[in-house]
């Protein structure tokens, strides 16, 4: 896929970057939203203090491919499963749920088992998140019509 995704006629990857809960630290979410835009993704940023219901409603309304959540509050074992559950209930099980934050490796493993994609911790190069989403999209979604 080209940087903007448009030159080759390929559909751009649509990503919703969400900041759930009461955590007010959004610098990382803003940085990753910018990185995703620079990588040619179409990005929707929800802003702070979103509920799982608000995130899912926006994801469905915006017809995104990916929901990327930033969770620094320690509520990752509640927030990620709840968003996955709501996406599935809306018939949006095809949407990749991924994200990052302060999440212990054991919790990352359990969340993967519960239908959450790869999660990224502090210090992970942003290029890894971009490459992960591109690879997932190529495998899971690129066969769909433009």
pLDDT of 66-108, one tens digit each? Answer: 999 999 999 999 999 999 999 999 999 999 999 999 999 999 9
Query: Among residues 104, 107, 24, 37, which one has the least CA distance to residue 68?
Result: 37
Please report the pLDDT score of residue 4 as a whole number.
46
Please identify which residue in the block is written with the tokens 């959450």.
116
Q: Name the 3-class secondary structure at 69.
A: strand
- Alpha carbon of residue 87 to chain centroid: 12
pLDDT at 6 over 70: no
Q: Which domains does the chain have, with CATH numbers?
A: 14-140 (3.40.50.280)
Question: pTM for the whole thing?
Answer: 0.91
Q: How far, in Å, CA of 53 to CA of 112, rounded? A: 21
Q: How far, in Å, CA of 112 to CA of 20, rounded? A: 19
């Amino acid at each position: 896929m080209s940087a903007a995704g448009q030159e080759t006629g390929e559909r751009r990857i649509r990503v919703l970057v969400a900041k759930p809960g009461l955590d007010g630290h959004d610098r990382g979410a803003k940085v990753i939203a910018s990185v995703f835009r620079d990588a040619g993704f179409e990005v929707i940023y929800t802003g702070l203090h979103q509920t799982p219901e608000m995130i899912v409603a926006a994801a469905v309304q915006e017809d995104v491919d990916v929901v990327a959540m930033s969770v620094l509050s320690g509520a990752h074992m509640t927030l990620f499963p709840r968003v996955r559950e709501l996406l599935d209930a809306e018939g949006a099980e095809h949407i990749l749920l991924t994200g990052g934050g302060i999440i212990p490796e054991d919790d990352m493993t359990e969340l993967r088992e519960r239908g959450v994609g790869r999660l990224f911790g502090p210090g992970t190069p942003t290029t890894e998140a971009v490459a992960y989403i591109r690879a997932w999209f190529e495998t899971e979604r690129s066969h769909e019509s433009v």
